[in-house]
Homo-oligomer: A and B are copies of this chain.
Amino acid sequence: MSGNLTYRESGVDTIEAQSFVYSISSHVKRTQKNRQLYNAFGLFAAAYDLSSYKEPVIVTGTDGVGTKTELLFEQDMPETAGKDLVAMNVNDILTTGGDPLLFLDYLGISNLKTETPRITRLVSGMCDYLESCNCILAGGETAEMPGVVPENLVELAGFCIGCVEKSAMIDPSRVTVGDVLVGFSSDGFHANGWSLIRRILAQQPGLLTREELCSALAPTRLYHDIVRDLRARGIVPKAYAHITGGGLPENLERFLGEKGADLTIPYWQNDVAQKVLQFVDTEDRFHTFNMGIGWVTIVSPDQVDAILTAGSGGCVIGQIREGRGVHVSVAR
């Protein structure tokens, strides 16, 4: 007996895969203008030469875009999904004071042929953000999984590797009482809390117009401009925090130990966000959303003036005090 089923007949098309690789190649190239991969022909992994570093410490993390992905695809905004994926990962790397060097993506889809236009747009969005922060799209896996990944959905995971000289590494254990917290604005909800937002939108179907929803879906801000500006001025802050799920309290408490802070943040001037927030428990909102502050830099008091003009500008939101716990109130 001789069989006759081919891999293509079972729903996986390796030719189509080559076509997808071609369709994204110009975008990938954009991410290698200033940094290049180490020439490593024929290996099954991407390589990057770190021999110019004196005492390199590599830093790495992984993140996804969560349930926001579904809404982004419903609204035909795959470029934003790509930007969110990059920003969620790169911002975490930036908290170390390091350079984001290499980014890899994992896309799980049901059908490569039907998805190629959309995931090409997704990769172009990724490369817009990667190009802006000088990080190479070093690899990726596009897994075609018919019958496993629901049709019309793209599973998304990102991975980033950065490097920092040991002597220049941010050390949050240096934070002391009296240090100042400077908050930098977010561009919206970013990529956290969307299970809750989706539930509210399901319960209040007319709450947001399509235009308002798209504005609420703005991509996570990339905070490399702040880190770059501070480095250029020779300022090494005590800590950086990327405000994601858990909000300001959890993302600061994770390294404050027995210290804490009572923060006063500006009212979030974002009409669409406020429309949604009215349906969220008044305490829980601070533990779920960034509430308008997506990045926090902690510095000693003498560095505050310099830091306020880094990136697109921050504002003082509080000071470190003795005693556990970060509490947030809104300025009136």
Per-position 1/0 for A130-149, Cβ under 8 A of B: 00000000111101111111
List the B side residues contacting A64 at CB < 8 Å.
106, 108, 141, 143
A40 interfacial contact with B, CB 8 Å:
yes
A10, B143: Cβ atoms closer than 8 Å? no
Cβ B104 vs Cβ A62 within 8 A: yes
Known: A7-B196, A45-B59, A51-B55. A148 touches B70 (CB 8 A): yes
Which residues in B have their C-beta under 8 angstroms from that of A198? 10, 147
- Is A166 in contact with chain B by the CB < 8 A criterion? yes
- Residues in B with CB closer than 8 Å to A166 are 49, 51
- The segment from A75-83, A168-176, A263-271, A302-310 found at the interface with B is A168-176
- In the complex, per-residue mask of A151-188: 1 if CB is within 8 Å of any chain B CB, else 0: 00101010111111010011111000000000000000
Which one of A117-125, A225-233, A274-282, A322-330 contacts B? A274-282
Q: Which residues on the B side are within 8 Å of A139 (C-beta)?
A: 60-62
Given contact pairs A45-B92, A170-B43, A58 touches B58 in the complex (Cβ within 8 A): yes
Residues of A that sit less than 8 Å from B by CB: 1-7, 9-12, 14, 38, 40-51, 53-64, 66-67, 69-70, 91-93, 95-96, 98, 102, 104-106, 108, 138-141, 143-150, 153, 155, 157, 159-164, 166, 169-173, 193, 195-196, 198-200, 239-242, 245-246, 250, 254-255, 277-282, 284, 287-288
A11-B195, A108-B155 given; 17 more Cβ-contact pairs under 8 Å? A2-B282, A3-B281, A4-B281, A11-B199, A41-B173, A44-B241, A45-B95, A47-B59, A47-B169, A50-B50, A50-B53, A58-B163, A62-B141, A62-B157, A66-B145, A67-B145, A149-B155
| In the complex, the 3 A-B pairs of residues with the closest C-beta atoms, listed nearest first | A42-B255, A42-B172, A3-B279
